[in-house]
Amino acid sequence: MIIVVDPGPLASVQDPFGRPGWRRYGVPVGGAADALSARLANRLAGNDENAALVEVSLGGAAFRIESAGIVALTGGLPATIDGAPAPAAGVRVRAGSLVRLEAGDGVRGYLAIAGGLVVEHVLGSASTELRARFGGHEGRALRSGDRLTIGTAPARPPSRWAGEPRIGPIRVVGGPHPEALAQLVARAWTVAVEADRTGVRLDGDRIGGSGEVASMGLPIGAIQVPPDGRPIVMLADRPVTGGYPVPACVIRADVGRLAQLHPGDEVSFALVSPDDAREAWRAAEASLSQLEPIDDPAGDLGWIGSHD
């Protein structure tokens, strides 16, 4: 069991891929807001990469690992295991260890555990649909005292990540309504307070002349510009359709990095070609695969955990 000691402002059970396939009934895809970080956490723990894990937003969260196992912590929140900084690796922990995810440069952190979390799959996914209140743990955000069941540990060994976090501007490709593309790319933006799993609103020199378009399906990363001229980047929990022009889309390789931005952070966009965007995706996938197996985590890393 994992016991939720403190969920912080928002923690929920998610899986990296969410529940595609139900959007024609209005059901959002959902899943981890920074899916690449979530996939990495599962790989480090030796799990299938779509295993259910915990997503923590903003930090201030603590979890007690009731029985010995292997955990992996990724994303934008600094994490500790019994006070020691967690490496980018699967880490063997003793029964009773305390995992903390603190406030940091990013917004989302991931706690994966070997075996994954066991929750009922609803519409094919373990992820929590927070607004419609289904999936995940009882269809809601985690609360102090919640107990999360852990699945059977996988046969795969844990790994250490040898990749490099990506830096540099957020990259975009042109969207179906290119009229405002030049303004969007030329200007510097600031992340507004309205930033959550649904989307991130941007403040700055507003884009003029934007109207409405016929409601249409939105891919992840689509940047909608409503009539007030403040762009919104659509993320995992976005509604399935939207009725505002989309001058550009954040490329899939960079959607997770955008989901890690805090209100007040500055962001500007670099326009790339669709071919470059697909190449960036292949590079992101390749980076996820830069894993060094840890044959004996107990001997290699030493036992990190409580000693009482």
Partner 1 sequence: MIRPFGEAALLVEVGDPERAQAVAAALASDRIAGIAELVPGLESVLIDLDPGADPALVASTVQERLEYATPHRVTGRRRTIPVVYGGDHGPDLEEVASLCGMAPAELAERHSALEQRVLFDGFAPGFAYLGTLPPELRVSRLATPRTRTPAGSVAVADAMSGIYPAELPGGWRVIGRTPVPLFDPRRDPPAYLVAGDIVRFEAISAADWDARAIASEDWG
Q: Does 22 bind partner 1 (CB under 8 A)?
A: yes
* Min separation Cβ 249 and partner 1, Å: 3
Pattern 158-177, partner 1, x by CB under 8 A: ---------------x-xx-
**Contact residue for partner 1 among 48, 67, 105, 131 (CB under 8 A):** 131
Nearest to 89 by CA among 284, 280, 296: 296
Query: Distance of alpha carbon 108 from its chain centroid, rounded?
Result: 6
* Min separation Cβ 191 and partner 1, Å: 21
Inter-helix orientation angle 274-288/252-259, to 10°: 70
Q: Does 75 bind partner 1 (CB under 8 A)?
A: no
Nearest to 191 by CA among 100, 128, 267: 267
Q: Does 5 bind partner 1 (CB under 8 A)?
A: no
Q: Does 246 bind partner 1 (CB under 8 A)?
A: yes
The amino acid at residue 58 is: L
Give the binding range for partner 1 (CB under 8 A) out of 102-110, 162-170, 215-223, 290-298. 215-223
Measured from the Cβ of residue 149, the count of other Cβ atoms closer than 10 Å reads 12
Q: Does 23 bind partner 1 (CB under 8 A)?
A: yes
Q: Which residues contact 164 (CB under 8 A, 6 or more apart)?
A: 287
**Contact residue for partner 1 among 222, 225, 259, 261 (CB under 8 A):** 222
Q: How far apart are CA 75 and CA 245, in angstroms?
A: 31
Q: Which is nearer to partner 1, 131 or 143 (CB)?
A: 131
Nearest to 170 by CA among 259, 87, 106, 231: 259
Q: Does 196 bind partner 1 (CB under 8 A)?
A: no
* Min separation Cβ 210 and partner 1, Å: 17
Inter-helix orientation angle 274-288/35-45, to 10°: 20
* Min separation Cβ 156 and partner 1, Å: 23
Q: Strand 147-148 vs strand 10-14: parallel, antiparallel, or unpaired?
A: unpaired
Q: Which is nearer to partner 1, 84 or 216 (CB)?
A: 216
**Contact residue for partner 1 among 43, 160, 230, 252 (CB under 8 A):** 252
Q: Which residues contact 271 (CB under 8 A, 6 or more apart)?
A: 171, 172, 173, 174, 181, 185, 248
Interaction residues for partner 1, span 270-289 (CB under 8 A): 274, 277-278, 281, 285
Pattern 226-245, partner 1, x by CB under 8 A: -------------xxx-x--
Tokens of 123: 């519409």
Q: Does 130 bind partner 1 (CB under 8 A)?
A: no
Helices (H), the chain: 35-45, 181-186, 252-259, 274-288, 297-300
Give me the residues that bind partner 1 (CB under 8 A), please: 20-28, 122-123, 129, 131-135, 173, 175-176, 214-219, 221-222, 239-241, 243, 246, 249, 251-252, 274, 277-278, 281, 285
